[in-house]
Amino acid sequence: MPPPLHRMSATEVLNLLKDEKINVVTYARDLLDRINKRDSIVKAWTYLDSGFVLNQAKALDQIPRGKRGPLHGLAVGVKDVVNTKDMPTQMGSPLYKGHQSYYDASIVGILRAAGALIFGKTTTTEFCAANSGPNTTNPHDPERTPGGSSCGSAAAVADFHVPIAVGAQTGGSIIRPASFTGVFALKPTYNAISPEGTKVCSSTFDTLGFLTRSIADLQLLADVFALEDDEPVQEIPLEKATVAIVKTPNWESAGPGTIAAMERAEELLKNSGVEVHVVSFPAPLNDRDRLKHISKVIVCSEARRSFLREYRVNKGVLGPDIRSLVENKANFTNQDMSTALDTLASMRPIIDKMAREYSVILAPSAADEAPVGLEDMGSPAFNTFWTGFHVPVLNVPAFTGAHGMPISVSLVAGRFRDQHLLRIGQVLSDALMAESD
Amino acid sequence: MPPPLHRMSATEVLNLLKDEKINVVTYARDLLDRINKRDSIVKAWTYLDSGFVLNQAKALDQIPRGKRGPLHGLAVGVKDVVNTKDMPTQMGSPLYKGHQSYYDASIVGILRAAGALIFGKTTTTEFCAANSGPNTTNPHDPERTPGGSSCGSAAAVADFHVPIAVGAQTGGSIIRPASFTGVFALKPTYNAISPEGTKVCSSTFDTLGFLTRSIADLQLLADVFALEDDEPVQEIPLEKATVAIVKTPNWESAGPGTIAAMERAEELLKNSGVEVHVVSFPAPLNDRDRLKHISKVIVCSEARRSFLREYRVNKGVLGPDIRSLVENKANFTNQDMSTALDTLASMRPIIDKMAREYSVILAPSAADEAPVGLEDMGSPAFNTFWTGFHVPVLNVPAFTGAHGMPISVSLVAGRFRDQHLLRIGQVLSDALMAESD
């Protein structure tokens, strides 16, 4: 007996839709049933109108077969900092309660033009910038956070509400919740997908990406978004793959779950015939405090300008984190910002060069399992530097921790090698996940 | 007898409004009269609703004196790639005919929160990215272009329709039309003003700024937008000022008008007791072709992603320039783009250092007077590199060319020295403009 539709990956559903074994309405009904049963616990959605979803599904069913897009009928959840023309975009902020832009963000416009069914809006922390807020729970344990700030996107995909969700990452807001909830995710190369129409926090770091339950689904999206490598992507068999295990300058933040996962990953890859090298960031990138300071200066200094409008319109309803950013409570100077921007830029070609010496880099995705409690959404310590380096990161949810919660690893490639990353990621994840369910 | 209201600078009008010598409705009526008389020739506006303007003006008049903002009642034209909640934003593209986002761009939200009267939308080339389009004319000669892509913003300010207009620059789209129409303009430090809610072309280059008829008006805006230098701004008298005259690697593009203007500027400054140095960009920044290539690779490669949505939605209505960008007709690789981004980033601290050795840099604003004809909007050759260096540029319309058309010079400072640039710009422009009317 086939699994219920909501359990299927986007690619599997797409085949059923293409063969007209199901239609979009049938599919949407099954997802809505799942959400009805589960969302009182998971609370992944900040806006979802079943009637509107079904009307959209009907309209998609009426498109003649020859005119259907490459994502025809696939349900997509959209993080609530990304504008949608037909739904509110409330940004996790009371200032934006009921707010609607009536114009799709670029990423949503491209999804819609490809035939996707824009399902609803998923929860976020305030402007992606705060580290608490929504009461979304981790589908694997309602006492635990799904991670932030793409909380709802991760939870909705992990809990089988939709097969695809749009996330946005400034520090670790895609990869960390993907790790905590056990789903695949791609944070593509910076600016490979236009951020137009998305709330800006730090324009040097902000990156849009996707959460799914399979790499094939990420591949589908990468093709729709015209992510193209310079070279044709080579199929690299396991025995010809070389992997750089990079524990990163933040390794001391790793908890027992992540330490065990990284060890197990190394062992599994070696057992599969992969050539494994344990590698460190070259100087001066190996200085944890410096890396952290650079990211913090840039994100805070850019966010200070990004949120000036909200501060001027009504600072009284902004959270203390956002107010502190605009008021520059950290006292960063412009010179701090310029120096940090220039230094970070000088690091990018170093990382690119390092990445090109191996098939892929393997690194931690988060410190450990998702923490208990909904207020602390975990640390982006293992993600922010990759975001600033502008390199693509693939989350592979291969492991579990001491409490049975998911633990992931990150696969990383050089800039604009997103297609290569997905291909080698598929090969390696088959080996890494051989034992997982 | 005082000049008519439409001839006054924003600062002058602000004083009259503050003292309640006039109200906003009186002011708006005078501007609308001016526009009625002139816009059939100048064609600066793509959207202007007199009734709506007057209603907004009435609402501003009803705000109690103590609650009025720092720009209370000042009329602002907004380039038609910048979203306004109450007016269409048509981006110079048939794809966006009648389009309205119903949400202000960040820059408009801040202006509105400061009490500005958002007057209407000014013409632009297609997405700021094409180099022809609107039939806007130069107020000094209707046979000549006002320059692009902020055509309408420059023409509206130069022709006394409004005292302030918002412009956007990727190459030279603020400074060049300001030079051609003879107005002041500030392209601030990159990212000093959030670009959120503006059509994205090239996110590494796109910068928002203002066109006005006085430096005092730019100062008013810089304060509202919280442009803050690290050090308190010093008043530098002419005899203590040091100016680096930088003809730039594009000097061979300079026509006789610009050559004469740069010579006259040097002479005027020397006569005023200013210490003048003639300086070149240090290697490797002195290679014109390399500089041009770097900018072109980045702008084209980023624009390729920025316009993918429009291409997917309806490529048939896009201009050939925009289609070529998305189709990557220039055949730039991702490696070209990464290398160009890294190289440009490595140049920024070099320019910063050079700028800090002098009170200010003086450079050409455009090749010459505005060309005859409306199709060719002139070249951004003297602007694009400053935009990519992220440094603030002030246009000073001090001179006239052989046909009596305006010719300007650019004053340039290091990153985040916008306030210093305005202060020294005021001192120097008094000397440079001593003979102009």
Residues A139-144 have a mean pLDDT of 98
Tell me which residue of B300, B204, B338 sits closest to A355, measured CA to CA.
Answer: B338
User: What pLDDT sits at residue B437?
Assistant: 59
User: What pLDDT sits at residue B131?
Assistant: 77
CB-CB under 8 Å, B335 with A309: no
User: What pLDDT sits at residue A8?
Assistant: 98
CB-CB under 8 Å, A114 with B225: no
Contacts of A354 in chain B (CB under 8 A): none
Give the pLDDT band of residue A359 (cuts 50, 70, 90): very high
User: What pLDDT sits at residue A132?
Assistant: 75
Give the pLDDT band of residue A437 (cuts 50, 70, 90): low
Query: Two tokens at A139?
Result: 């589908």
Does residue A131 register a pLDDT over 80? Answer: no
To which residue do tokens 């998702």 refer?
A: A370
Say which DSSP state A102 is in. Answer: S
User: What pLDDT sits at residue B339?
Assistant: 98
Neighbours of B314 (CB within 10 A): 12
Task: List the single residue in B313, B335, B346 with the smallest CB-CB distance to A230.
Answer: B335
Sheet holding A207-212, edge to edge: A45-47, A117-122, A75-79, A164-169, A207-212, A184-187, A393-400, A406-412, A360-364, A242-246, A275-279
Contacts of B227 in chain A (CB under 8 A): none
Residues B275-283 have a mean pLDDT of 96
Residues A398-416 have a mean pLDDT of 98
CB-CB under 8 Å, A341 with B309: no
- Tell me the pLDDT of chain B averaged across its residues: 96
Residues A395-411 have a mean pLDDT of 98
Does residue A47 register a pLDDT over 70? Answer: yes
CB-CB under 8 Å, A348 with B346: no
Distance from CA of A263 to the nearest CA of B (A): 33
Question: Could you tell me which chain A residue has the CA closest to the CA of B111?
Answer: A309
Q: Which residues, 6 or more positions from B343, have their beta carbon under 8 angstroms from its beta carbon?
A: B294
Tell me which residue of B387, B395, B396 sits closest to B415, measured CA to CA.
Answer: B387
Per-residue pLDDT of B289-334, as tens digits, reads: 999 999 999 999 999 999 999 999 999 999 999 999 999 999 999 9
Task: List the single residue in A103, A110, A342 with the smallest CB-CB distance to B349.
Answer: A342
Give the pLDDT band of residue B84 (cuts 50, 70, 90): very high
Number of inter-chain CB pairs under 8 A, A vs B: 128
Does residue B214 register a pLDDT over 90? Answer: yes
What is the percent of chain B with per-residue pLDDT over 90, rounded to a whole number?
A: 95
Catalytic residue annotation of B: 79, 149, 173
Contacts of B195 in chain A (CB under 8 A): 200, 203
CB-CB under 8 Å, A337 with B416: yes
Per-residue pLDDT of A68-100, as tens digits, reads: 999 999 999 999 999 999 999 999 999 999 999
CB-CB under 8 Å, B349 with A345: no
User: What pLDDT sits at residue A332?
Assistant: 98
Question: Could you tell me which chain A residue has the CA closest to the CA of B416?
Answer: A334
Contact yes or no for A412/A281 (Cβ under 8 A)? no
Give the pLDDT band of residue B212 (cuts 50, 70, 90): very high
Contacts of B312 in chain A (CB under 8 A): 109-110, 113-114
Distance from CA of B342 to the nearest CA of A (A): 6
Give the pLDDT band of residue A367 (cuts 50, 70, 90): very high
Task: List the single residue in A106, A113, A333 with the smallest CB-CB distance to B230.
Answer: A333
CB-CB under 8 Å, B341 with A312: no
- The answer regarding whether domain B5-224 maps to CATH 3.90.1300.10 reads yes
Does residue A348 register a pLDDT over 90? Answer: yes
Chain centroid offset of residue A152 CA: 11
Neighbours of A59 (CB within 10 A): 12
Tell me the ipTM for this assembly. Answer: 0.96
Catalytic residue annotation of A: 79, 149, 173
Residues A312-317 have a mean pLDDT of 96
User: What pLDDT sits at residue A128?
Assistant: 86
Query: Two tokens at B75?
Result: 């009329």
Question: Could you tell me which chain A residue has the CA closest to the CA of B313?
Answer: A113
Per-residue pLDDT of A201-216, as tens digits, reads: 999 999 999 999 999 9
CB-CB under 8 Å, A334 with B348: no
Per-residue pLDDT of B116-169, as tens digits, reads: 999 999 999 999 888 778 899 999 999 999 999 999 999 999 999 999 999 999
Distance from CA of B389 to the nearest CA of A (A): 11
Element (H, E) at A322: helix A320-326
Per-residue pLDDT of A231-290, as tens digits, reads: 999 999 999 999 999 999 999 999 999 999 999 999 999 999 999 999 999 999 999 999
Handedness of CA B420, B426, B431, B436 (dihedral sign): positive
CB-CB under 8 Å, A195 with B308: no
Tell me which residue of A402, A3, A307, A335 sits closest to A163, measured CA to CA.
Answer: A3
CB-CB under 8 Å, A348 with B338: yes
Contacts of B299 in chain A (CB under 8 A): none
Contact yes or no for B164/B225 (Cβ under 8 A)? no
Contacts of B351 in chain A (CB under 8 A): none
Task: List the single residue in B200, B338, B346 with the smallest CB-CB distance to A196.
Answer: B200
Question: Could you tell me which chain A residue has the CA closest to the CA of B102?
Answer: A101
The residue count of chain B comes to 437
